[in-house]
């Protein structure tokens, strides 16, 4: 969407040149395709759609990149998702702003600012008691309601459903996310309830002992301002040899920081199989496929191998020369 959003006039110019070249070469198929694309692109509805999709995908892409990072933590993802959902919901009321941006792009691309009218289907009345047809709406209203509002609502609903499990997980570990969350839980007398919920989720944690450990650790936070995140909490406990003093807190922090936020690595592993086992390699055995997939996934480690030494080892192991 980025080239269409910022280089639409150049795209239109390229299609015009393609059309003229096709006419000179008598290429009817290319000429028809370029003409059809120009007809669709040179409309105000298309420009509005480009701006809407670019704004939405730009923000969603930021969250998607966090999901694919190896070192991303759950608290960071939670904030990013909340930001994306909040932007999407607020974007629903910005149709006038989107329209003004579309006007600027339309002027730059030399496209007239008007909405194409479409024929409204009328239902034939068979009985007198049937309700009348809906009042006719303008093309702009139909675009705003049928496309813009519907798209925003669908994306908002999908985002909420996609990360519903993550929200439930954050309810159990939320008070351990950072310094502010832990302090608010202790000061507002919510720490007992938070420890009880976490104990129901993780049976290895003793509820009462965790409560006392968190209250004691909160005293450390008041005197040590450098401890701000859950990672800092766990590093402090490990570096100072305090795991025996805070065993339950240590377990909870390790569970919080090591819980994967996505399955992007597994999805990438499956996508690698299509590159390894192609149509020409259909007879590949499972062992070979597994070994090649491991090399492909761990390509960084594979690049550091000495191939010459490996070839010599393989050659010496498979040598069948007769010794005299």
**pLDDT, tens only, 165-217:** 677 777 777 788 878 888 888 888 888 888 888 888 777 788 888 888 888 88
Exposed e or buried b for every residue in 245-266, given b needs 16+ CB within 10 A? ebbbbbbbbebbbeeebeeeee
Q: Cα–Cα distance between 103 and 114 in angstroms, integer? A: 10
222-240 pLDDT per residue, tens: 888 888 888 888 898 888 8
Contact 10, 105 (CB under 8 A): no
Residues 105 and 231 in one domain: no
Q: How confident is the model at residue 261 (pLDDT cuts 50, 70, 90)?
A: low
Quickly count: other Cβ atoms within 10 Å of residue 65's Cβ.
11
Query: 61-71: per-residue pLDDT in tens?
Result: 888 777 766 66
Torsion of CA 206, 209, 214, 220, to 10 degrees: -140
The verdict on residue 127 lying in a domain is no
Task: Examine residue 120 and state whether it is found in any structural domain, yes or no.
Answer: no
Residue 307 lies in a domain: no
Give yes or no for residue 276 having a pLDDT over 80: no
Handedness of CA 28, 29, 32, 35 (dihedral sign): negative
Q: Would you list the DSSP string of 250-309?
A: HHHHHHHHHS-S--HHHHHHHHHHHHHS-GGGTT--HHHHHHHHHHHHTHHHHHTS-HHH
Angle 150-162/44-67 helices, nearest 10 degrees?
10
> Residue 244 belongs to what domain range?
167-258
Return the pLDDT at 5.
Answer: 87
Same-domain status, 150 and 111: yes
Alpha-carbon distance of 199 to 144, in angstroms, equals: 49
Considering 95-104, 279-288, 303-312, the range whose residues carry the highest mean pLDDT is 95-104
Place of tokens 């509805």: 45
161 and 81 in a common domain = yes
User: Are 296 and 252 in a shared domain?
Assistant: no
Residue 318 lies in a domain: no
Same structural domain for residues 23 and 139?
yes
Q: What does the pLDDT read at residue 131?
A: 62
Claim to verify: residue 51 and residue 88 sit in the same structural domain: yes
Single out the residue of 248, 211, 260 nearest to residue 72, CA to CA.
Answer: 260
For residues 153 and 182, membership in a common domain is answered with no
Any domain includes 197: yes
Q: What is the pTM of this model?
A: 0.60
Average pLDDT, the chain: 81
Counted domains in the chain: 3
224 and 215 in contact (C-beta within 8 Å)? Answer: no
- Which residues, at least 6 apart from 101, have a Cβ–Cβ distance to it below 8 Å? 51
- On the question of pLDDT at 280 being above 60, the answer is yes
What are the pLDDT digits (tens) for 8-30? 889 888 988 988 888 888 888 88
- Pairwise CA distance, residues 104 & 143, whole Å: 19
Clarify whether residues 26 and 144 are in a common domain.
yes
pLDDT at res. 52: 92
Reported as a single tens digit per residue, the pLDDT across 73-126 is 666 777 788 888 888 889 988 888 888 888 888 888 888 877 777 666 666 666
> In the prediction, which pLDDT does 54 show?
92
The answer on 150 and 80 residing in a single domain is yes
Residues near 241 by beta carbon (within 8 Å), at least 6 away in sequence: none
Count the helix, strand and coil residues of the chain and give each as a percent rounded to the nearest 5: 70, 0, 25
Kindly state the helix (H) or strand (E) to which residue 117 belongs, with its residue range: none
Mean pLDDT score, 276-297:
78
Residues 207 and 139 in one domain: no
């Amino acid at each position: 969407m980025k080239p269409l959003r910022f280089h639409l006039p150049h795209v239109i110019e390229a299609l015009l040149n393609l059309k003229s070249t096709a006419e000179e070469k008598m290429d009817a198929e290319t000429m028809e395709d370029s003409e059809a694309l120009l007809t669709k692109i040179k409309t105000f509805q298309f420009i509005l759609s480009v701006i809407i999709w670019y704004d939405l995908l730009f923000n969603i892409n930021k969250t998607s990149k966090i999901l694919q990072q190896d070192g991303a933590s759950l608290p960071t993802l939670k904030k990013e998702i909340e930001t994306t959902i909040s932007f999407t919901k607020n974007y629903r009321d910005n149709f006038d702003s989107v329209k003004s941006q579309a006007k600027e792009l339309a002027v730059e691309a030399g496209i007239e600012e008007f909405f194409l009218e479409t024929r409204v289907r009328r239902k034939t009345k068979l009985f007198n008691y049937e309700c009348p047809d809906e009042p006719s709406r303008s093309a702009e209203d139909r675009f705003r309601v049928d496309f813009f509002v519907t798209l925003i609502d669908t994306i908002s609903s999908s985002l909420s459903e996609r990360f519903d499990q993550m929200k439930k997980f954050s309810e159990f570990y939320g008070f351990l996310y950072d310094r502010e969350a832990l302090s608010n839980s202790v000061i507002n007398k919510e720490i007992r309830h938070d420890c009880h919920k976490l104990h129901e989720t993780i049976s290895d944690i003793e509820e009462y002992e965790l409560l006392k450990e968190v209250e004691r650790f909160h005293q450390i936070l008041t005197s040590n301002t450098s401890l701000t995140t859950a990672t800092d909490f766990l590093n402090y406990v490990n570096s100072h040899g305090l795991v025996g003093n805070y065993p339950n807190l240590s377990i909870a922090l390790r569970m919080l920081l090591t819980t994967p936020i996505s399955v992007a690595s597994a999805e990438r592993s499956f996508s690698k199989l299509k590159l390894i086992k192609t149509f020409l390699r259909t007879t590949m055995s499972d062992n070979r496929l597994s070994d090649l997939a491991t090399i492909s996934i761990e390509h960084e480690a594979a690049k550091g191998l000495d191939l010459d030494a490996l070839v010599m080892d393989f050659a010496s192991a498979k040598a069948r020369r007769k010794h005299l």
